[in-house]
Amino acid sequence: MRICFIIAVVITLSAGLAFGTELYIPQIKTTAGQTVEIPIMIDHIDNLAGIKLKLKYDPNILEFMEGTKTKHTSPLMHVVNDKNPGVLIIVMAGAKGIKGKEIALFLLKFKTHKDLKSQISTKLSITELQLMGDDLKDIKCTVKVNEVVISPSAHP
């Protein structure tokens, strides 16, 4: 009986991992004082019509400049609330859903702090996330955020 339960749990977890959607931020490497573009990616999606994302970053290391849609999300309307340094709220919506694999949903442009003496790593953190299909149902999604590695400038 216990073995059947364990097998059922393993199969359920494996299926969830194999078929789940993942929103992620890839590892980015840049140099101090440079402008860097950080994509918000999704591994696969079928009918994404709405996104609400709250993201936090260290304003002492990164200065937010702008956020833009990509060719995949061009049919969606978007708003970026950047009123509080260190916090971004991004909302995107459209009447018809978009689909694709390994696509950038949004591009965030930051200026990196120029006075770094040594290499540092920082992470954006996604504190709230809601994805919705054009059927108005929530889309379940996992999140993975990698580091932004900033090397000191070669020219003092």
| 8 in any annotated domain | no
| 17 in any annotated domain | no
Q: Structurally, how many domains does the chain consist of?
A: 1
| 64 in any annotated domain | yes
The boundaries of the domain holding residue 128 are 22-151
Residue 101's CB is within 10 A of a number of other CB atoms, namely 9
| 16 in any annotated domain | no
The CATH number covering residue 97 comes to 2.60.40.680
- pTM of the predicted model as reported, rounded to 2 decimal places: 0.83
Question: Which is nearest to 148 in space by CA: 72, 34, 23, 22?
Answer: 34
pLDDT for res 145: 95
| 119 in any annotated domain | yes
| 6 in any annotated domain | no
End-to-end CA, the chain:
68
pLDDT, tens only, 92-151: 999 999 999 999 999 999 999 888 888 999 999 999 999 999 999 999 999 999 999 999
| 120 in any annotated domain | yes
Question: Which is nearest to 61 in space by CA: 155, 150, 154, 156?
Answer: 150
8 A C-beta contact, residue 76 and residue 69: yes
